[in-house]
Structure 1
Amino acid sequence: MKARDLSVLLGVILIIVMLVVPLPGWLLSVLILLNISLALIVILVSMNTQEALQFSIFPSLLLLLTLFRLALNVSTTRSILSEADAGGVVATFGSFVIGDNPLVGFVVFIILVIIQFLVITKGSERVSEVAARFTLDAMPGKQMSIDADLNAGLISEQQAKERREKVEQEADFHGAMDGASKFVKGDAIAGIIIVLINIIFGLIIGMVQMDFTFSEAINTYMRLTVGDGLVSQIPALLISTATGIVVTRTASAGNLGSDVTAQLLQYPKLLYIAAGTIFLLGLTPINFFLTTTIAGLLGLSGYILLQQTRVKEMPDIEEEEETESSSMKSPENVVNLLNMDPIEFEFGYALIPLVDASQGGDLLDRVIMIRRQLAIELGVVIPVVRIRDNIQLNPNEYRLKIKGNEVAFGELLLDHYLAMTPDIDDDSLEGIETKEPAFGLPAKWISEDSKDEAELTGYTVVDPPSVVSTHITEVIKQHAHTLLGRQETKQLIDHLKENYPILVEEVTPEPLPIGDIQKVLAKLLKENVSIRNLPIIFETLADFSKMTNDTELLGEYVRQALSAQITKQYVNNDLSLKVVTVSGSVEKMIAEGIQQTEHGNYLALDPDSQQSIVKTIHEEAEKLSLQEETAIVLCSPAIRMYLKQLLERFLPQVVVLSYNELEPNVQVQSVGVVNVA
């Protein structure tokens, strides 16, 4: 155990001993001086902290110091009443204050106690209580502000975590200070009671047991009582003042001394007014020489501060310009320009109310929910979305960028609603013709007055924030595989390793490096397959990575292992599935067209055959879309990967499944067959 830790433990044990064992006068004097020294250190530290959390141990320290002071009071009271002596420090303080008149000295002591109890202690207690209440009330707002900055890209995940921890620590600290201030109040009350006990019982013991006269008893016990009260109340006054300083301290760049002098003297001209007022007081019977001297000092101080302010203004401006110039020339500044946000959402100035909370905008909160929703659906943590306005865009326009590339754009009319209906020939509703940005459906922007009419007619009516939120969600889903890099894959692996360390060690770094795992996961995300079930994915990789390191084939094995998940994703509650099947001749054609190379396998078909297959599937997909059914092509596991590669350039929305990716209880209904003429 460290010496510092041991000293604190021994100090607590000493406090307990002081409550029971009588101490000699010289030891009491040492402990009293130690108490005063500790109180001075505490108030000096509280004045030099820049924010309250830098002295977070203060509530616990306050309890220990209060207990130490009360133990000293018990020990000195025991010595005063039993021996009429409490050490040289107590006797010196008492003689210095009382002098030749015990009554005047006692009155001075009572005034000190009143100041301590009614002013400092009561004020510190009230400030602690109010600070605790306001800190707790402000906690939800601070948390929302942190989330908003995180989603706007102003801070990183680590910075957000640190800010949340700081908010929690502030709440805990002020709650603890609220309770600890009650000890200060109790200590002041106990000090008053101990003084009364010392005087009353001291007179009784002195006159009855020690045969003192009344005058001798008053002189002896009054001096010792006042001395004991001073050596306990002065540290208590310092600690109470430190309590008030800590709980009223706001975060700043300097300590209390620098802040007080800087802010109190920030208006030098006001010192002239103060100097003039003091000078006018000298015209009254007040000492003219004294008031003139003070007024002159104030005026001189104001003049010196005003000159310093004027001199500092020009160098500051020049220094600022030099700093800006040097920062633009520095290589670090150029390097910072290379940073690119993974996701950017830019909008024109007319869409500012979407994100401005003071105007009712809730887009930041919606983005938070989008990231949470996609984490649950896809199993990947979406990076923060940088949201900012762009005056180069049209007022109502917005666009979404993924890694610097524009992938989507749209227009919003904030004072309108978007009405959508599958009946594209219905022109009975007046509005501005447009297309729903996420899915490209025919739609109209209608006024708020037409909203009820549109809903009764059968239109689906959506407000602008919901329109853009849906668009952002769908675009991020489509590009989730591009957002999953090696760094993000490493984070997922580390998270999995916390619960499945053996499984992770069996897969990576041997036989599969992080780059290969990233390719498998990105392949799944590209086909809208969630990777949230990482344990099953890694179990499959552990089984098949010993046979092949081809990430395309490993992805197919993983898909088959996730058959229950894929089945649930596409099959209705009645376990029926409408699909387009691939004929045997087409499957044979594709199987024979697979070329194997050292860099992997690929499909090599003549252009006419490729065009015929794509055309047939396109026709069947259109038939299913008219029935509001998802276009799904079902084929054998051997060709699924190659058929998907063929279609993804022309028909990326078509889902390609193999028989092994469906559960056995699924009732497959073939509504079309892929043939080649």
Structure 2
Amino acid sequence: MKVGDIALGLFVILAIVIMIVPMNTLLLDILITLNITLALIILFNALFAQEALNMSSFPTMLLFITIYRLSLNLSSTRSILTSGEAGDVIETFGRFVGGNDIVVGIVMFIILIIVQFLVITKGSERVSEVSARFTLDAMPGKQMAIDADLNSGLIDEMQAKERRTKIQDEASFYGAMDGASKYVKGDAITGLIITFINIVGGLVIGSTRGGLSINEAFQKYTILTIGDGLVSQIPALLISLATGILVTKVSKEAEVGDQLMQQLFSLPKVLYFSGSVLVFLGIFTPLPFFIVSVAGILAIVSAWKMQNNMQIQAVDQEISTEDIEAEEIRKPENVVSLLQVDPIELEFGYGIIPLADVNQGGDLLDRVVMIRRQIALELGTIVPIIRLRDNIQLNPNQYIIKIKGIKVAEGEIIFDHYMAMNPGFVEEELDGIETVEPAFNLPALWITENQRERAETIGYTVVDPPSIIATHLTEVIKKHLDELMTRQDVQTLINNVKESNPTLVDELVPKLLSVGEVQKVLMNLLNEGVSIRDLVTIFETLADNAITNRDTDILTEYVRQSLKRAISSTFFDESESNSVITLDPGLEQKIMDSVKNTEQGTYLALDPEITAKIFNSVEQETNKLSSIGRTPILLTSPIVRIYFRRLTEEQYPDLLILSYNELDANAEIQSVGMVSIG
């Protein structure tokens, strides 16, 4: 057995022995002194503990020390009533504290009991109760905060486990303190009852058995009873005070002394006001001048010195901060912060600043936020933060859009003007400045505010400058969504699906496909404008086909076929016939014959002359659809689609190439041309 276990067992046994076995007065003095010593040790431990959990065993300690003190009370009562003696400690306390006067001693004892019972004990009990309740109520929120930090990577599993353990320990501690505070309250009540019994019992025994008169018995036993009550209640008062200190601790970063000094004497103006009031009271009231006014003068002098010290510290801190900043600049690793590349940037000249400034009524920032929401709803992917900044090197009304630090698009607006576009059926002309709509390269006009109503009346589409920039930015982001998607974004999407479909995700990642391979499939879909919102269907298809084939391009074709309803609804109008062009079967066969298989994958090896003929035919057929305002869509067999897409994506990036297996049964299709090589 450990020494601590033996000492604890002996302490508990000692309390029981003291209750049963009569104690010698010398031994009683030693045990009472031990009680006072333990009370002081507990008080100062509670005072200097940085947080309540540093004394997590306090409720148990409180129970043991209370039982020990009550056993001493019982033993001293027996000694007083049987022999009329209780040792030097009790008698000294009774005579010294009471000034050898019974009335004074009784008053002092009653005041002590009132202070302990009504102020400290009752307050500690209430604080313990409230602390326990709030700690238990806050547990779910704290647990959720730990889970959020763990999921975001701010802490690891070990740190999360430590925090959860600490939360449980706090709940257990404050719950136990709520119950343990009842011991303190009961101890105070017991002290009053024992004191009353001692006085009454002493009077009866002293006058009937001791041969003393009632006055002599009252004098003798009252002094001993008061002394007994004091040596019992003073340690009880210390323990009550320790309980109150422990349950009212808030900060976990500093000791109580440091906190009190910092919070009470950190503002010079507080001391200035306090000192001025004291000086005023010392001069203009009958209060002792040399006490009150001198105290005020000392407070004012202290405030002045404190203010000087704070100014010196502020200068030193400023110099130190400048030195640190200069040192940071000299460090070779300070360029690391410059290596960060923003995924999406919108830079604009100073003339466009009012559109982005909320204080000037601009709503461009709100539109940018809506762009991210719109694309997330439409295409089901995460759009990175869009960085907006002004650039004085640009023309006042110019803006540029950067993807990963590289300019990919630009435009220019005319402030306080509107852009009017002819939808194709308006014959009446408008006066304005000719321009080109930046998002779709359509002819347009810049018109004034006065022309806006007329332009809308005759059928023109009229948009304001913020809408032009927002639309252009939206189209650029859609065009580059595939390269903006990172593995971390894909992992976030996977985690989102896993919440409702854990079996599917556990089967797919990483058993069948890695996060990088899933990323390539999603990038292929986004590259051709296919929404990935239906991730469950996408993952189900990948899980079904990745067992036999891990080629991400082939897997993309399987996924596209599973999403045929969504693809058809995106690119076809179900209410009318849709014009498309097709691929000559002979050309399809020629393309398949030119496919080469290697260890790195498959590629298309066509003769350059045939490629040129294909491009000429594609251009002729797509112009037929473009001339009537239709989006060019080309249909191929499923096995050819991917290779024809690779062949034409550089030359014709806006050409939609679909396979027959991607058409919904309800889609009405009409072929208006065929791509062939003659």
> Under TM normalisation by the shorter chain, which class is it?
0.5 to 0.7
Give the unaligned 5+ runs of structure 2. Answer: 22-27, 80-85, 211-216
Partner of residue 100, structure 1 = 100
Distance in 2, Cα, partners of 1:435 & 1:92: 106
Checking the alignment, whether the CA contact within 8 Å between 1:610 and 1:646 is kept in structure 2 is no
Greater mean alpha carbon deviation, residues 648-657 or residues 32-41: 32-41
Return the offset for 1:481: 1.6
Partner of residue 528, structure 2 = 527
Distance in 1, Cα, partners of 2:14 & 2:468: 73
* 1:112 pairs with 2:115: yes
Give the unaligned 5+ runs of structure 1. Answer: 47-54, 151-155, 546-550
User: Secondary structure of the equivalent of 1:653?
Assistant: coil
Distance in 1, Cα, partners of 2:195 & 2:286: 44
Name which of 41, 44, 48 aligns with 2:48. 44
Q: Deviations over 1:525-582 (max 9, x none)?
A: 312342833353254233113xxxxx5xx41333224522233332479799844322
Amino acid of the structure 2 residue aligned with 1:238: A
Partner of residue 69, structure 1 = 62
Name which of 69, 80, 85 aligns with 2:73. 80
Amino acid of the structure 2 residue aligned with 1:558: T
Relative to 1, partners in 2 of residues 1:356 and 1:81: Cα closer, same or farther, differing over 3 Å? farther
Note the aligned Cα RMSD (angstroms): 6.4
Alignment of 1:142-181 (within 5 A): 157-158=152-153
* 1:193 pairs with 2:189: yes
Partner of residue 674, structure 2 = 674
Distance in 2, Cα, partners of 1:16 & 1:358: 80
Overall identity of the aligned pairs, in %:
24
Distance in 1, Cα, partners of 2:274 & 2:185: 40
Checking the alignment, whether the CA contact within 8 Å between 1:504 and 1:538 is kept in structure 2 is no
* 1:543 pairs with 2:536: no
Return the offset for 1:521: 3.9
Alignment of 1:273-672 (within 5 A): 301=302, 305=306, 308-309=309-310, 311-312=312-313, 314-344=315-345, 349-353=353-357, 366=370, 369=373, 373=377, 377-378=379-380, 381-383=382-384, 385=385, 387-390=387-390, 392=392, 400-407=401-408, 425=426, 475-485=476-486, 499=503, 500-501=505-506, 503-504=508-509, 506-507=511-512, 518-529=519-530, 530=532, 532=535, 533-545=538-550, 551=551, 554-571=552-569, 578=578, 579-591=580-592, 594=595, 600-602=602-604, 604=606, 605-606=608-609, 608-622=612-626, 625-626=629-630, 631-662=632-663, 665=665, 669-672=669-672
Larger-Rg structure: 2
Return the offset for 1:635: 0.5
User: Secondary structure of the equivalent of 1:542?
Assistant: coil
TM-score (structure 2 length as normaliser): 0.66
Checking the alignment, whether the CA contact within 8 Å between 2:117 and 2:185 is kept in structure 1 is no
Distance in 2, Cα, partners of 1:435 & 1:85: 107
User: Secondary structure of the equivalent of 2:41?
Assistant: helix
Relative to 1, partners in 2 of residues 1:318 and 1:70: Cα closer, same or farther, differing over 3 Å? closer
Larger RCO (CA under 8 A, 6+ residues apart): 1
Amino acid of the structure 1 residue aligned with 2:483: T
Return the offset for 1:337: 1.2
Distance in 2, Cα, partners of 1:84 & 1:388: 83
Partner of residue 52, structure 1 = none
Distance in 1, Cα, partners of 2:422 & 2:186: 79
Return the offset for 1:34: 4.8
Checking the alignment, whether the CA contact within 8 Å between 2:368 and 2:386 is kept in structure 1 is no
Amino acid of the structure 2 residue aligned with 1:330: K
Partner of residue 230, structure 1 = 234
User: Secondary structure of the equivalent of 2:556?
Assistant: helix
Relative to 1, partners in 2 of residues 1:275 and 1:598: Cα closer, same or farther, differing over 3 Å? closer
Distance in 1, Cα, partners of 2:509 & 2:270: 71
Amino acid of the structure 2 residue aligned with 1:104: V
Checking the alignment, whether the CA contact within 8 Å between 2:541 and 2:558 is kept in structure 1 is no
Relative to 1, partners in 2 of residues 1:158 and 1:666: Cα closer, same or farther, differing over 3 Å? same
Distance in 2, Cα, partners of 1:195 & 1:358: 74
Checking the alignment, whether the CA contact within 8 Å between 1:540 and 1:561 is kept in structure 2 is no
Q: Deviations over 1:198-243 (max 9, x none)?
A: 3344445656689795555543444333433332332322332444
Amino acid of the structure 1 residue aligned with 2:342: D
Distance in 1, Cα, partners of 2:430 & 2:161: 53
Checking the alignment, whether the CA contact within 8 Å between 2:417 and 2:449 is kept in structure 1 is yes
TM-score (structure 1 length as normaliser): 0.66
